[in-house]
Amino acid sequence: MDALDQRLAQSAVQACEACFGAQIAPEHIQLQQTRKEFEGDRTVVVFPLTRHSKSSPEETGVALGQWLVANDELIKAYQVVKGFLNLTIVPVYWTEQLLRTHNLDAFGIQKKGSRSKVMVEYSSPNTNKPLHLGHLRNNFLGYSVARILEAAGHEVIKVQIINDRGIHICKSMVAWQMFGEGETPDSAGLKGDKLVGKYYVAFDRAFKEEVAELLVQGMDESDAKKQAPILLKAHALLHQWEQGNSEVVELWKTMNGWVYDGFEETYSEMGVDFDKLYYESDTYLLGKDQVAAGLGSGVFFKKEDGSVWIDLSDEGLDEKLLLRNDGTAVYMTQDIGTAITRYSDFPGLERQVYTVGNEQEYHFKVLFTILMKLGVEGAKNNHHLSYGMVELPEGKMKSREGTVVDADDLLEEMANTAEEMANELGKIDDLTEEEKATLFKQVGYGALKYFLLKVSPTKSMMFDPKASIDFIGNTAPFIQFNYVRAASMLAKCADADIDMRITSIDASVWDADELRLIQQTLMWPSIVELAAEHYDPSLVANHVYDLTKAFSRWYQDHPVLGEENVSLREARIALTQSVAHQIRIAMGLLGIEMPKRM
């Protein structure tokens, strides 16, 4: 409950006692926003109170409404609709709240570090391919959640675990050895991650050809897929890497270095960053140590073939492999090591939030359960930020077949589309080329980020580039355009020597639309809290869209600079300042920059 709801709940308690002689706790008063089609600002749900009034819901509502209007100066009027009591708050209250918050940077934003220390992991790519559309949703989601948690007062550490070892890495290495002829990013004219990804695709192509040949020779398909020579070479390379073979390790470092350079370019364009990087090649060793310790304590057990497992059937899960019979690690091994390392690196860490697709939900249930069984403090607080896949009209993307939407290409396409739209409108001819390039990225990248974040993380989604950059509807360009319009109008007011420091407002000047718009801005603190609680940037996105849409409608019929009534003009300036300020802050939590021109 916010301060207003607490006040109203207390008044309702007093009304129940005065009208019905009932003693009711404030938390038992049900309050909610009044629905838009009815008059009022807050609604008291009357049905639960009829057992105290011994009357119908309508009679109960009327009795309470009459008492509240007569005894609480905050309540101007009431309306009873069936079992709901709608209360209208006096305009002076909303005016005071607007004056208190309209230019306050900290409105709705808690002091950093006033709450617990939280780590957010996102991106976590494999070093065998460039970043793609799925990585974009992952990065934008994780980065935005980190910013929202920080806005809610948490100390946030942004990290990624780079999956730089394993059979998938060795596949690219083997293909480069076989087909690369010494090719490098410089000689190929390719970003390093794209070059390595090319050989991952080449591996899959060669693998399929070898399997087909083995099938022709009469081998069973299952055996053919296990015995393909190129796959055996990749497994041999993995074993050599784990044994520390110097030539293999040097090739691994070289190719990973190409990928890291490519990733950094893409992250810079995305506008995301990290406080610390973790590498699977480091943490899997600690994971193996933890498995050894868990064997000694009886948490894990060894099968006859030498492989190490944990039995989680009592927790409704299955047996889980932790070490293969040849001693090599699996993903779970390194995740155990990574998690424990992070608690050691950041004392006082309250929880870790893993931004990973929903196909890994079972994996994280197992991981968190294992960490708790190992006695890792804080493990029970960890959270899997599970999100749905991004699909295309053609279906799912497949990296090994080269059918992904490359992140770099998509970002470039979005900026180019923004450029085409801007040139059609013809309003930026006076900008420099550098200013234009910045604007195109702000609009194009903003459209992409917003489209991927406005949907609840739990839902899968279909990506539509054209719809994302539309200037009409629930899109970033619509929000950016209205922000620019508001900022431009405020700048014109300042240029006209109008005093922009609004310190008092005549509450009688507001109409119903303006009062509703003020109330929408005052919802912001609860939106931040809810988004942080649920790790859900879509709550921020849809709030800022609803606010922008209401402002756009209001702006059409409510002149500001041209308003001759000084009191009314000042009131509308303050309201516009509040809306523009909140749009900028909210979009910033989504990682979206606001342009100065459009």
Q: Are residues 357 and 417 in the same domain?
A: no
Amino acid residing at 189: G
Residue 316 lies in a domain: yes
3-state secondary structure string across 1-58: CCHHHHHHHHHHHHHHHHHHCCCCCHHHCCEEECCCCCCCCEEEECHHHHHHHCCCHH
- The pLDDT score that the predictor gives to residue 465 is 82
- The pLDDT score that the predictor gives to residue 400 is 45
Q: Are residues 375 and 520 in the same domain?
A: no
Q: Are residues 136 and 212 in the same domain?
A: yes
Residue 199 lies in a domain: yes
- Could you tell me if 465 and 413 are in contact, meaning their C-beta atoms sit under 8 angstroms apart? yes
- The pLDDT score that the predictor gives to residue 399 is 43
Report the C-alpha gap between 479 and 594 in whole angstroms: 9
Report the C-alpha gap between 61 and 84 in whole angstroms: 7
Residue 481 lies in a domain: yes
pTM more than 0.95: no
Residue 111 lies in a domain: no
Report the C-alpha gap between 571 and 509 in whole angstroms: 8
Q: What is the DSSP letter of 597?
A: -
Tell me the pLDDT of the chain (598 aa) as tens digits: 688 999 999 999 999 999 999 999 999 999 999 998 999 999 999 999 999 999 999 999 999 999 999 999 999 999 999 999 999 999 999 999 999 998 788 899 999 999 999 999 999 999 998 999 999 999 999 999 999 999 999 999 999 999 998 899 999 999 999 999 999 999 999 999 999 999 999 999 999 999 999 999 999 999 999 999 999 999 999 999 989 999 999 999 999 999 999 999 999 999 999 999 999 888 888 899 999 999 999 999 999 999 999 999 999 999 999 999 988 788 899 899 999 999 999 999 999 999 999 999 999 999 999 999 999 988 999 999 999 988 766 554 444 444 578 999 999 999 999 999 888 877 788 899 999 999 999 999 999 999 999 999 999 998 888 888 988 999 999 999 999 999 999 999 999 999 999 999 999 999 999 999 999 999 999 999 999 999 999 999 999 999 999 999 999 999 999 999 999 999 999 999 999 999 999 999 999 999 998 8
- The pLDDT score that the predictor gives to residue 464 is 83
Q: What is the CATH number of the domain that holds 299?
A: 3.40.50.620
Ramachandran bin of 41, using left for φ above 0, alpha for ψ from -120 to 50, beta for the remaining angles = alpha
Residue 305 lies in a domain: yes
Q: Are residues 201 and 290 in the same domain?
A: yes
Nearest residue to 191 (alpha-carbon basis) of 120, 260, 254: 260
- Could you tell me if 295 and 302 are in contact, meaning their C-beta atoms sit under 8 angstroms apart? yes
Which among 371, 401, 431 is the end of a domain?
A: 401
CB burial of residue 534 (10 Å; 0-12, 13-18, 19+) = middle
- What are the DSSP calls for 288-316, one per residue? HHHHHHHHHHTSSEE-TTS-EEEE-GGGT
**What is the tally of helices (H) and strands (E) in the chain?**
22, 14
Q: Are residues 370 and 493 in the same domain?
A: no
Nearest residue to 47 (alpha-carbon basis) of 8, 1, 82: 82
Which uninterrupted H or E stretch holds 162?
Answer: strand 155-162
Q: What is the CATH number of the domain that holds 542?
A: 1.10.730.10
- Could you tell me if 220 and 153 are in contact, meaning their C-beta atoms sit under 8 angstroms apart? no
Q: Are residues 558 and 503 in the same domain?
A: yes
Q: Are residues 359 and 455 in the same domain?
A: no
Strand 319-323 versus strand 308-311 pairing type: antiparallel
Q: Are residues 394 and 531 in the same domain?
A: no
Nearest residue to 333 (alpha-carbon basis) of 295, 381, 386: 295
Kindly give, in sequence order, each residue whose CB lies less than 8 Å from that of residue 114, ignoring residues fewer than 6 positions away. Answer: 153
Which among 401, 425, 446 is the end of a domain?
A: 401
Q: Are residues 396 and 421 in the same domain?
A: no
Residue 114 lies in a domain: no
Which among 46, 73, 89 is the end of a domain?
A: 89
Q: How far is CA 7 from the centre of its chain?
A: 33
- The pLDDT score that the predictor gives to residue 254 is 97
Report the C-alpha gap between 142 and 123 in whole angstroms: 8
Q: What is the CATH number of the domain that holds 62?
A: 3.30.1360.70
Q: Are residues 389 and 414 in the same domain?
A: no
Residue 595 lies in a domain: no
Residue 512 lies in a domain: yes
Kindly give, in sequence order, each residue whose CB lies less than 8 Å from that of residue 43, ignoring residues fewer than 6 positions away. Answer: 31, 32, 33, 34, 35, 84, 85, 86, 87
3 state SS of 511: coil
Q: Are residues 160 and 305 in the same domain?
A: yes
Nearest residue to 74 (alpha-carbon basis) of 23, 14, 30: 14
Q: Which residues pair with 572 in a beta bridge?
A: none
Report the C-alpha gap between 472 and 484 in whole angstroms: 15
Q: Which domain holds residue 77?
A: 3-89
- Could you tell me if 200 and 234 are in contact, meaning their C-beta atoms sit under 8 angstroms apart? no
> How many structural domains is the chain composed of?
3
- The pLDDT score that the predictor gives to residue 403 is 55
Q: Are residues 181 and 75 in the same domain?
A: no
Write the CA distances from 116 to 152, 153, 379, 534, 589, integer angstroms.
Answer: 10, 8, 15, 16, 19
Q: Which residues pair with 309 in a beta bridge?
A: 301, 321
